[in-house]
C-alpha cells in the first residue's frame, strides 16, 4: 500500500513520515510532496492508496487537491492535517470525500488511528497485524532451513485459513508485499540478502488467486537463490544448537539463548528441536551433562563436587540424585567400580 504525504513544512513533513513508518502494518512506499500541484503529479504517476495533506500551501492548496482527487481518483482515501481550525475548511473538505480532519500538532497515536480508519474504509475489514506477521515469520524460518515441503504447506494454509478473507485485491497485494519485506529483512539479519527483485508491482494481478501465485513464485525464487548461494555449506540449526549446548554444559544457558544463537523463534525452535532429536531441550542438556559427568568421574584428581560444578550443578545433592537416576548408582559408587576412592 502506498501513501502520499503533502506538507510544505520540512520538519512537520519528516515527522509525519516517521509516524507513518511506525504504523504496525508497513507500507510499500511513502511519497512526499511540498504542495498540491506536485502532489497531484505524483498521484497521476504513482497513484497512491492514501493521501495525507495539509490545507494551506502554495501552488494549489489542500482543498483544491482534495477536489481534484475526488473528481478524478475517487478510490483514493484522503485525510486532512492542518493547523487551521476553520470549520468551513473542514466542511468543504468533507464534500470532497475527505474522511478525517485533524488539527496540528498531531501525535503518533492520532496518525495511527487515522490510518486504521482509512484502511478500514478501503477494505471493509482490517486484517489483524499479528496474524500475517506470524505467518511471514514462519515462512522465513522454513525458507532459511530450505524446507520446501513445509514452505508449500504454509502457502496453502495462507489460502485456506481465511488469512485474507474480507480484504479486497489491492489490500491483499499490499499485505503480501509487507510479508515479503518482513521475510527479506529477517533474512538480512541472518547475514544474507536476496539479490533478485522481491516485491511485486501492486495492481498487476487481476484476482486474489493470481496475487497468491505471484507471491508463491517470489518465495520459491528466494529459496532457489538461497540454495544456490549455500552450495552445500548450510549449517543445520539443530546440530549447531546441540554443539553450542555441548560447549556450555557448565552454564545455565536458556532455551531462549540457544534459539537466538541459531536465529530461530523460541517456540519454533523448541518444537523443531523435539521433532529432530526426539527429546526436549532440557532433557538433552541433562543427558549431555550426565554423559560428561560419567567421563569426569573416572579422573581421580577431580572431586565429585568439582565434577558437579563442571557440568553445571551448584547443588551437589541434586547432581548426585540426577546421576543415580541416569546410571542406577551414585557418582561415588560409579567411581568405586574403577577402584578409585
Angle of helix 87-95 versus helix 62-72 axis, rounded to 10: 10
Residue 90's pLDDT band, with cuts at 50, 70 and 90, is low
pLDDT at 307 over 90: yes
What CA–CA distance (Å, rounded) separates 66 from 55?
Answer: 9
CA 93 → CA 40, 281, 284, distances in Å? 16, 61, 66
Q: What is the CATH number of domain 2-123?
A: 3.40.50.2300
> How many CA atoms does the CB half-sphere of 29 hold within 13 Å?
14
Q: Strand 50-53's sheet: what is its strand order? A: 29-33, 2-6, 50-53, 77-82, 100-103
Confidence at residue 121, expressed as pLDDT on a 0 to 100 scale? 61
Q: What is the CATH number of domain 237-336?
A: 1.10.10.60
Whether the Cβ atoms of residue 178 and residue 26 lie closer than 8 Å to each other = yes
Mean pLDDT of 71-98: 75
Confidence at residue 123, expressed as pLDDT on a 0 to 100 scale? 47
- Terminal-residue alpha carbon distance, the chain: 75
Supply 161's cell numbers.
485459513
Confidence at residue 198, expressed as pLDDT on a 0 to 100 scale? 61
Confidence at residue 60, expressed as pLDDT on a 0 to 100 scale? 81
Judging by beta carbons within 10 Å of its beta carbon (0-12, 13-18, 19+), is residue 175 exposed, middle or buried? buried
pLDDT tens for each residue of 244-287: 999 999 999 999 999 888 877 788 788 888 888 899 999 999 99
Per the listing, cell 542406577 goes with 328
Confidence at residue 311, expressed as pLDDT on a 0 to 100 scale? 94
207 or 332: which carries more pLDDT confidence?
332
Mean pLDDT of 136-165: 85
Instruction: Give DSSP secondary structure letters for 98-111.
Output: --EEEESSP-HHHH
pLDDT tens for each residue of 4-34: 999 988 999 999 999 998 887 767 789 999 9
What CA–CA distance (Å, rounded) separates 247 from 157?
Answer: 39
199 or 142: which carries more pLDDT confidence?
142
CA 76 → CA 28, 43, 122, 177, 288, distances in Å? 16, 9, 9, 19, 62
Please name the residues in contact with 262: beta carbons below 8 A apart, sequence gap of 6 or more. Answer: 237, 238, 240, 241, 244, 269
Sign of CA dihedral 36, 38, 44, 46: negative
Q: Taking all residues of the chain, what is their mean pLDDT, rounded to a whole number? A: 84
Q: What is the CA radius of gyration of the chain?
A: 29
33-37, 85-89, 120-124, range with the lowest pLDDT: 120-124
pTM of the predicted model, to two decimals?
0.45
Residue 206's pLDDT band, with cuts at 50, 70 and 90, is confident
pLDDT tens for each residue of 207-228: 888 888 889 988 988 988 888 7
Amino acid at each position: 500500500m502506498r501513501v502520499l504525504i503533502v506538507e510544505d513544512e520540512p520538519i512537520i513533513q519528516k515527522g509525519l513520515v516517521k509516524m507513518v513508518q511506525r504504523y504496525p502494518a508497513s507500507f510499500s512506499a511513502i511519497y512526499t510532496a511540498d504542495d498540491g500541484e506536485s502532489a497531484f503529479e505524483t498521484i497521476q504517476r504513482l497513484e497512491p492508496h492514501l493521501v495525507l495533506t495539509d490545507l494551506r500551501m502554495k501552488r494549489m492548496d489542500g482543498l483544491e487537491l482534495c477536489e481534484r482527487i475526488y473528481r478524478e481518483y475517487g478510490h483514493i482515501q484522503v485525510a486532512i492535517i492542518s493547523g487551521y481550525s476553520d470549520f468551513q475548511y473542514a466542511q468543504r473538505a468533507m464534500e470532497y470525500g475527505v474522511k478525517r480532519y485533524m488539527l496540528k500538532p498531531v501525535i503518533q497515536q492520532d496518525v495511527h488511528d487515522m490510518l486504521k480508519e482509512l484502511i478500514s474504509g478501503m477494505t471493509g475489514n482490517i486484517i489483524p497485524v499479528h496474524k500475517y506477521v506470524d505467518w511471514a515469520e514462519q515462512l522465513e524460518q522454513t525458507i532459511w532451513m530450505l524446507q520446501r515441503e513445509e514452505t508449500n504447506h504454509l502457502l496453502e494454509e495462507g489460502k485456506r485459513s481465511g488469512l485474507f478473507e474480507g480484504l479486497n485485491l489491492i489490500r491483499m497485494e499490499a499485505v503480501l508485499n509487507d510479508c515479503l519485506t518482513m521475510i527479506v529483512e529477517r533474512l538480512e539479519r541472518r547475514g544474507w540478502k536476496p539479490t533478485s527483485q522481491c516485491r511485486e508491482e501492486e495492481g498487476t494481478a487481476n484476482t486474489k488467486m493470481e496475487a497468491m501465485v505471484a507471491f508463491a513464485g517470489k518465495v520459491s525464487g528466494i529459496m532457489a537463490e538461497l540454495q544456490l548461494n549455500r552450495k552445500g555449506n548450510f549449517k543445520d540449526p539443530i546440530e549447531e544448537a546441540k554443539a553450542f549446548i555441548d560447549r556450555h554444559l557448565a552454564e545455565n544457558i536458556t532455551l531462549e539463548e540457544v534459539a537466538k544463537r541459531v536465529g530461530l523463534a523460541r517456540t519454533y525452535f523448541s518444537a523443531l528441536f523435539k521433532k529432530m532429536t526426539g527429546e526436549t531441550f532440557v532433557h538433552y542438556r541433562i543427558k549431555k551433562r550426565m554423559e560428561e559427568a560419567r567421563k569426569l568421574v573416572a579422573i581421580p584428581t577431580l572431586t565429585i563436587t568439582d565434577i558437579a560444578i563442571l557440568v553445571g550443578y551448584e547443588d551437589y545433592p541434586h547432581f548426585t540424585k540426577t546421576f543415580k537416576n541416569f546410571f542406577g548408582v551414585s557418582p561415588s559408587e560409579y567411581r568405586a567400580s574403577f577402584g578409585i576412592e
